[in-house]
Amino acid sequence: MAARPDWRGEREAKIEALHVRLTTAVESLVTGEDWVRAMTFAAQFRSRSFANTLLIYAQHSERFEAGLVSEPWPTYVAGFRQWESLGRSVMKGQQGYMIQAPVTERWAAETTPDGTSLRKLGFKEPPQPGEQVRTRIINVKPAYVWDVCQTDGDPVPVRPSPKLLEGQAPDGLWEGLARLVTSEGFELSKVADAREIGGANGVTNYADHTVKVRSDVDDAAQVKTLAHELAHVKMHNPADAESWHHRGIGEVEAESVAMMIGAAHGMPTDSYTIPYVSGWATTVKDKTPAEIVQATGERVRATALSILNALDTEQIGGGDPPGLDRAKLANAHQAKGPAFTAVQAPAMAGQSMAVGA
């Protein structure tokens, strides 16, 4: 049997290779077209972190170009055991796509008159009465997933997908977004045309807590604009120096959230996407385009996900196969005992790595 140092060295090499692949994928997203494509893909795989969507996309594209997979785009992606739980098996010779999986630890938190105390929980150790369990990511490890086209077995159910006519907005989306805007304490109104709001499609005003959207465009354009303004409401409070760090990036973040919300409802927004997205990642001092793209991508994904989860609308799937119960499988796996040892993962200079299987 191989010595433990060799086993650890192999895992560290895999993580380093994963980091290099991710950096390469990130560095390719510096044009407007590349960014729009990445955001649309991330909307279809929003159950995964932004970094992992890039890794899945890049590896699947390589396999398709090499003739190793039959479909140009991944559709449903899951782990080996996850596919087995759905009655499907990975086909012989099909290699998985390596992604980042979080390594977590559990802590028990108890609030007392003197403050909150924390203690680390051992494996399978239950919390004491009055304690709450908190989980935090301490590292990453390599994990593998396969697209449905790399598996065979029981049929995969087909989720209904929204069908929209050109210019048509998804049912209930305006109302849902409007509700979220007002829940943030902003008053929403429509104006007759862009001249009433300085030539813009929409305006968010933090001084008087108002959001205004022009009404002389089709329904889809109005909904896309409202999603854009809701992103500003949730992300770009001018009183928060961290949230409004650069106007160019702020506008791209808001537009990208709107693109993801549209894509999650089967509503393409390409014709509405603002041209200034092109080259945006090169406009920030003291940060490389790769650093800006990755940090922005995860912020956009988190904001879009919080909005989509709060909407009662028909949406496309998030990348998991229909019927997959991740929590149930994770609990069953955890009951068998730990199957890995954590190793230190490299991160991009100047920032932490957002991870999630």
- Please check whether residue 206 lies inside any domain of the structure: yes
Q: Find the helix or strand (DSSP H, E) in which 203 lies.
A: strand 202-205
Q: Please report, as a single letter, which amino acid is at residue 91.
A: M
- Please check whether residue 19 lies inside any domain of the structure: yes
- Please check whether residue 75 lies inside any domain of the structure: yes
275 and 325 in a single domain? The answer is no
153 and 237 in a single domain? The answer is no
276 and 208 in a single domain? The answer is yes
151 and 219 in a single domain? The answer is no
Whole-angstrom distance, CA of residue 191 vs CA of residue 241: 30
Query: Count of CB atoms within 10 A of residue 278's CB?
Result: 16
Whole-angstrom distance, CA of residue 285 vs CA of residue 350: 13
Work out whether the CA dihedral 149, 80, 161, 221 comes out positive or negative. negative
142 and 191 in a single domain? The answer is no
- Please check whether residue 127 lies inside any domain of the structure: no
CATH code, domain with 214: 1.10.10
pLDDT tens digits, residue range 269-291?
A: 766 665 545 556 666 677 776 77
222 and 144 in a single domain? The answer is no
Q: What is the DSSP letter of 148?
A: G
Let me know: does 326 contact 319? Beta carbons within 8 Å.
no
How many domains in the chain? 2
The DSSP bridge pattern shows strands 97-112 and 77-78 to be unpaired
Q: Please state the pTM of the whole predicted model.
A: 0.73
pLDDT tens digits, residue range 315-349?
A: 888 888 887 877 777 666 555 544 333 333 333 33
How high is the pLDDT of residue 250?
82
- With CA atoms as reference, report the closest residue to 260 among 14, 119, 93, 53: 53
194 and 143 in a single domain? The answer is no
pLDDT tens digits, residue range 18-77?
A: 777 777 777 777 666 777 788 888 888 888 888 899 899 999 999 999 999 999 989 899
143 and 187 in a single domain? The answer is no
205 and 301 in a single domain? The answer is yes
Q: What is the DSSP letter of 343?
A: B
pLDDT tens digits, residue range 211-225?
A: 999 999 999 999 999
277 and 178 in a single domain? The answer is yes
- Please check whether residue 354 lies inside any domain of the structure: no
37 and 85 in a single domain? The answer is yes
For residue 266, what are the domain limits?
A: 173-309
322 and 302 in a single domain? The answer is no
